[in-house]
Amino acid sequence: MYAPRWLFLYPGLGLVGFGLLACGLVLPGPLRIGSVVFDVHTLIIGMTAILVGTQVLIFFLLAKQYAIDAGLLRMGPKYHAFRRLVTLERGMVLGGSLAALGTLGILGAVVVWGDESFGPLDYTQMMRLLIPAVTSLAVGVQVIMASFLSSILDLKVRQP
């Protein structure tokens, strides 16, 4: 509780960074290094790292918020500025936008499937659309729920 940066922030940033790098390398198409081919399986691993890393970063923010409210940590100027910038409403807009983008990607995949009379599809091309779409939807929902939980933590309890 006294070191949320080391417990949550740095591992979360590392996971998201690794995920973005992996996805950036294979999203356009397979990456061949010698006889090794990185393809949609690497994309799944990268997107999973982004998803898990995002959750760990959310834990960091919520743990830090709780620790400050409980008097275990002091609020520094950077975190104070962050809390003023990130509100429930902005979290809802960001999360809603990510979820909507993911939903559009999924609907786009259904349209492509419909164009093929709901028959077999090119596996790797469809996964390059669906994996980021599902990840965007999931991260969007995480951001929305975290925004609500953060606002709940901000509520002050009346003492009798």
Tell me the per-residue pLDDT of 57-77, one tens digit each, with 9 for 90 and over.
999 999 999 989 888 888 899
Which residues contact residue 10 at a Cβ distance below 8 angstroms, ignoring those fewer than 6 apart? Answer: none
Percent of the chain with pLDDT over 90: 81
For the cut 90, the answer to whether the pLDDT of residue 92 exceeds it is yes
Residue 103 token pair: 């939903």
- Angle, helices 88-115/123-154, rounded to nearest 10 degrees: 160
- The pLDDT, as a whole number, for residue 72 is 87
pTM of the model: 0.90
For the cut 90, the answer to whether the pLDDT of residue 107 exceeds it is yes
How far is the C-alpha of 21 from the C-alpha of 9, rounded, in Å? Answer: 18
Beta carbons of 131 and 44 less than 8 angstroms apart: yes
Residue 92's closest CA among 154, 146, 153?
146
123-129 average pLDDT score: 92
What does the mean pLDDT of the chain come to? 93
Q: Place 1 in a pLDDT band, splitting at 50, 70 and 90.
A: low
- The pLDDT, as a whole number, for residue 2 is 66
- The pLDDT, as a whole number, for residue 14 is 98
